Amino acid sequence: MPALFSENTGPIEESLGYLFNNRKLLLAALTHKSYHHENPGENREHNERLEFLGDSVVGLVIAEKLFLNEELFSEADMSKMKSYLVKEAVLYQVASKLSLGSYLLLGKGEETSGGRQKKSVLSDALEAILGAIFLDSDYETVRSVMVRLFSDEIPAVIMRKEGHDYKSELQEKCQGLFGVLPEYRIVKLEGEEHRRVFTAEVRINKQMYGSGTGKSKKEAQMAAAKEALDRLLNE
Protein backbone atom coordinates (compact mmCIF):
# COMPACT_ATOMS: atom_id res chain seq x y z
CA MET A 1 0.00 0.00 0.00
CA PRO A 2 1.13 3.60 -0.53
CA ALA A 3 3.06 5.01 2.40
CA LEU A 4 0.48 7.69 3.05
CA PHE A 5 -2.41 5.26 3.34
CA SER A 6 -3.23 3.68 6.68
CA GLU A 7 -5.91 1.26 7.78
CA ASN A 8 -6.02 3.34 10.98
CA THR A 9 -8.99 5.54 10.24
CA GLY A 10 -9.00 7.21 13.66
CA PRO A 11 -7.54 10.57 12.52
CA ILE A 12 -9.98 11.06 9.64
CA GLU A 13 -12.90 10.00 11.83
CA GLU A 14 -11.78 12.56 14.40
CA SER A 15 -11.65 15.26 11.73
CA LEU A 16 -15.11 14.27 10.51
CA GLY A 17 -16.47 14.19 14.04
CA TYR A 18 -18.01 10.80 13.30
CA LEU A 19 -16.99 7.29 14.37
CA PHE A 20 -18.02 4.57 11.92
CA ASN A 21 -19.83 1.47 13.08
CA ASN A 22 -18.91 -0.31 9.85
CA ARG A 23 -15.32 0.61 9.00
CA LYS A 24 -15.58 -1.17 5.65
CA LEU A 25 -17.81 1.65 4.45
CA LEU A 26 -15.16 4.24 5.28
CA LEU A 27 -12.38 2.16 3.72
CA ALA A 28 -14.46 1.81 0.55
CA ALA A 29 -15.03 5.58 0.49
CA LEU A 30 -11.27 6.14 0.70
CA THR A 31 -10.44 3.65 -2.07
CA HIS A 32 -10.06 5.15 -5.54
CA LYS A 33 -11.04 3.05 -8.53
CA SER A 34 -7.42 3.14 -9.78
CA TYR A 35 -6.32 1.05 -6.78
CA HIS A 36 -9.27 -1.30 -7.23
CA HIS A 37 -8.37 -1.93 -10.89
CA GLU A 38 -4.66 -2.43 -10.17
CA ASN A 39 -5.32 -4.83 -7.29
CA PRO A 40 -8.29 -7.00 -8.28
CA GLY A 41 -7.17 -9.83 -6.00
CA GLU A 42 -7.89 -7.79 -2.88
CA ASN A 43 -11.62 -7.74 -3.66
CA ARG A 44 -11.77 -4.20 -2.25
CA GLU A 45 -14.76 -2.04 -3.15
CA HIS A 46 -13.95 1.39 -4.57
CA ASN A 47 -15.82 4.62 -3.92
CA GLU A 48 -17.78 5.34 -7.13
CA ARG A 49 -21.09 3.88 -5.88
CA LEU A 50 -20.77 5.70 -2.56
CA GLU A 51 -19.95 8.89 -4.46
CA PHE A 52 -23.20 8.52 -6.41
CA LEU A 53 -25.15 8.26 -3.16
CA GLY A 54 -23.17 11.02 -1.47
CA ASP A 55 -23.88 13.42 -4.32
CA SER A 56 -27.60 13.16 -3.55
CA VAL A 57 -27.01 13.42 0.20
CA VAL A 58 -24.99 16.62 -0.25
CA GLY A 59 -27.65 18.12 -2.51
CA LEU A 60 -30.47 17.30 -0.10
CA VAL A 61 -28.72 18.65 3.00
CA ILE A 62 -27.85 21.92 1.27
CA ALA A 63 -31.34 22.26 -0.23
CA GLU A 64 -32.91 21.73 3.19
CA LYS A 65 -30.53 24.20 4.83
CA LEU A 66 -31.38 26.89 2.27
CA PHE A 67 -35.12 26.14 2.35
CA LEU A 68 -35.32 26.45 6.15
CA ASN A 69 -33.31 29.67 6.29
CA GLU A 70 -35.22 32.43 8.07
CA GLU A 71 -34.94 34.75 5.06
CA LEU A 72 -37.23 32.50 2.97
CA PHE A 73 -35.20 32.61 -0.24
CA SER A 74 -36.94 32.35 -3.60
CA GLU A 75 -36.64 29.18 -5.67
CA ALA A 76 -34.30 31.01 -8.08
CA ASP A 77 -32.02 32.20 -5.26
CA MET A 78 -31.90 28.75 -3.68
CA SER A 79 -31.05 27.17 -7.02
CA LYS A 80 -28.13 29.55 -7.56
CA MET A 81 -26.77 29.06 -4.07
CA LYS A 82 -27.16 25.29 -4.18
CA SER A 83 -25.46 25.07 -7.58
CA TYR A 84 -22.47 26.90 -6.17
CA LEU A 85 -22.24 24.90 -2.94
CA VAL A 86 -22.30 21.49 -4.64
CA LYS A 87 -19.73 22.31 -7.30
CA GLU A 88 -16.35 20.60 -7.39
CA ALA A 89 -14.34 23.63 -6.24
CA VAL A 90 -16.32 23.97 -2.99
CA LEU A 91 -16.22 20.23 -2.23
CA TYR A 92 -12.47 20.30 -2.88
CA GLN A 93 -12.11 23.19 -0.45
CA VAL A 94 -13.89 21.23 2.29
CA ALA A 95 -11.93 18.06 1.50
CA SER A 96 -8.66 20.00 1.72
CA LYS A 97 -9.53 21.24 5.22
CA LEU A 98 -9.80 17.57 6.21
CA SER A 99 -6.44 16.75 4.55
CA LEU A 100 -8.45 14.06 2.81
CA GLY A 101 -5.78 13.36 0.21
CA SER A 102 -3.53 11.89 2.89
CA TYR A 103 -6.02 9.10 3.59
CA LEU A 104 -6.82 7.97 0.03
CA LEU A 105 -5.83 4.59 -1.37
CA LEU A 106 -4.69 5.22 -4.96
CA GLY A 107 -3.27 3.17 -7.77
CA LYS A 108 0.36 3.77 -8.78
CA GLY A 109 -0.57 5.72 -11.89
CA GLU A 110 -2.96 8.01 -10.04
CA GLU A 111 -0.41 8.46 -7.25
CA THR A 112 2.31 9.45 -9.72
CA SER A 113 0.08 11.95 -11.49
CA GLY A 114 -0.65 13.83 -8.27
CA GLY A 115 -4.02 12.26 -7.49
CA ARG A 116 -3.88 13.26 -3.82
CA GLN A 117 -4.18 16.91 -4.83
CA LYS A 118 -6.64 16.58 -7.74
CA LYS A 119 -9.88 18.48 -7.28
CA SER A 120 -11.94 15.75 -8.93
CA VAL A 121 -10.45 12.95 -6.81
CA LEU A 122 -10.84 14.80 -3.51
CA SER A 123 -14.34 16.13 -4.20
CA ASP A 124 -15.52 12.66 -5.25
CA ALA A 125 -13.98 11.12 -2.12
CA LEU A 126 -15.74 13.66 0.10
CA GLU A 127 -19.10 12.77 -1.46
CA ALA A 128 -18.30 9.08 -1.00
CA ILE A 129 -17.54 9.60 2.69
CA LEU A 130 -20.82 11.47 3.23
CA GLY A 131 -22.66 8.70 1.42
CA ALA A 132 -20.91 6.18 3.69
CA ILE A 133 -21.92 8.10 6.82
CA PHE A 134 -25.54 8.14 5.61
CA LEU A 135 -25.51 4.34 5.18
CA ASP A 136 -23.72 3.84 8.50
CA SER A 137 -26.14 6.03 10.49
CA ASP A 138 -29.12 8.11 9.35
CA TYR A 139 -30.02 11.36 7.65
CA GLU A 140 -29.98 13.48 10.82
CA THR A 141 -26.44 12.34 11.61
CA VAL A 142 -24.99 12.99 8.16
CA ARG A 143 -26.75 16.35 8.07
CA SER A 144 -25.07 17.30 11.36
CA VAL A 145 -21.66 16.24 10.03
CA MET A 146 -22.16 18.13 6.79
CA VAL A 147 -23.31 21.36 8.40
CA ARG A 148 -20.19 21.29 10.57
CA LEU A 149 -17.88 20.55 7.62
CA PHE A 150 -19.47 23.34 5.55
CA SER A 151 -19.54 25.77 8.49
CA ASP A 152 -17.64 28.40 6.47
CA GLU A 153 -19.06 27.79 3.01
CA ILE A 154 -22.83 27.68 3.66
CA PRO A 155 -23.06 30.85 5.82
CA ALA A 156 -20.84 32.76 3.37
CA VAL A 157 -23.13 31.95 0.45
CA ILE A 158 -26.25 32.78 2.50
CA MET A 159 -24.71 36.12 3.48
CA ARG A 160 -24.03 37.02 -0.17
CA LYS A 161 -27.49 35.74 -1.21
CA GLU A 162 -25.94 34.43 -4.39
CA GLY A 163 -23.84 31.49 -5.34
CA HIS A 164 -21.09 33.07 -7.35
CA ASP A 165 -17.78 33.87 -5.64
CA TYR A 166 -16.34 36.47 -8.01
CA LYS A 167 -13.21 37.00 -5.91
CA SER A 168 -12.25 33.33 -6.08
CA GLU A 169 -12.95 33.19 -9.81
CA LEU A 170 -10.88 36.31 -10.44
CA GLN A 171 -8.01 34.91 -8.40
CA GLU A 172 -7.98 31.69 -10.43
CA LYS A 173 -8.19 33.59 -13.72
CA CYS A 174 -5.39 36.00 -12.73
CA GLN A 175 -3.09 33.16 -11.75
CA GLY A 176 -3.83 31.39 -15.02
CA LEU A 177 -3.47 34.43 -17.30
CA PHE A 178 -0.84 36.54 -15.54
CA GLY A 179 0.70 34.42 -12.79
CA VAL A 180 -0.18 37.04 -10.16
CA LEU A 181 -2.91 37.65 -7.58
CA PRO A 182 -5.36 40.57 -7.78
CA GLU A 183 -4.84 43.37 -5.26
CA TYR A 184 -7.79 45.09 -3.57
CA ARG A 185 -7.89 48.59 -2.10
CA ILE A 186 -10.65 50.40 -0.24
CA VAL A 187 -10.51 53.86 -1.86
CA LYS A 188 -13.56 55.54 -0.33
CA LEU A 189 -15.68 55.29 2.80
CA GLU A 190 -18.92 57.27 2.99
CA GLY A 191 -21.97 57.55 5.23
CA GLU A 192 -22.66 57.38 8.94
CA GLU A 193 -21.23 54.57 11.03
CA HIS A 194 -24.36 52.41 10.85
CA ARG A 195 -24.89 53.14 7.13
CA ARG A 196 -21.39 52.91 5.71
CA VAL A 197 -20.77 52.55 1.98
CA PHE A 198 -17.38 51.20 0.92
CA THR A 199 -15.81 51.65 -2.50
CA ALA A 200 -13.17 49.14 -3.55
CA GLU A 201 -10.82 48.88 -6.51
CA VAL A 202 -9.06 45.80 -7.78
CA ARG A 203 -5.73 45.99 -9.59
CA ILE A 204 -3.94 43.39 -11.67
CA ASN A 205 -0.26 44.02 -12.38
CA LYS A 206 -0.79 47.50 -10.87
CA GLN A 207 -3.48 48.29 -13.45
CA MET A 208 -7.01 49.05 -12.25
CA TYR A 209 -9.45 46.51 -13.66
CA GLY A 210 -12.63 47.08 -11.65
CA SER A 211 -14.35 49.01 -8.90
CA GLY A 212 -17.46 48.43 -6.82
CA THR A 213 -19.43 49.59 -3.81
CA GLY A 214 -21.06 47.76 -0.91
CA LYS A 215 -22.19 47.91 2.69
CA SER A 216 -19.04 46.05 3.76
CA LYS A 217 -15.46 45.78 2.52
CA LYS A 218 -16.12 42.23 1.32
CA GLU A 219 -19.25 43.23 -0.58
CA ALA A 220 -17.41 46.11 -2.28
CA GLN A 221 -14.48 43.84 -3.20
CA MET A 222 -16.88 41.26 -4.63
CA ALA A 223 -18.48 43.92 -6.82
CA ALA A 224 -15.06 45.10 -7.97
CA ALA A 225 -14.04 41.52 -8.79
CA LYS A 226 -17.20 41.06 -10.86
CA GLU A 227 -16.43 44.17 -12.91
CA ALA A 228 -12.83 43.00 -13.42
CA LEU A 229 -14.03 39.60 -14.65
CA ASP A 230 -16.41 41.26 -17.10
CA ARG A 231 -13.53 43.33 -18.43
CA LEU A 232 -11.24 40.31 -18.79
CA LEU A 233 -13.92 38.42 -20.69
CA ASN A 234 -14.33 41.29 -23.14
CA GLU A 235 -10.62 41.92 -23.80
- Tell me the catalytic residues: 55, 127
| Number of neighbours of residue 187 by Cβ within 10 angstroms | 13
φ, ψ of residue 13 to 5 degrees: the values are -65, -35
Sign for the CA dihedral angle at 17, 123, 110, 98 comes to negative
Q: Which long-range contacts (CB under 8 A, 24 or more apart) does 133-136 make?
A: 133/16, 133/18, 133/20, 134/53, 134/54, 134/57, 135/22, 135/25, 135/50, 135/53, 136/20, 136/21, 136/22, 136/25, 136/26
Q: Are 110 and 121 in contact (CB under 8 A)?
A: yes
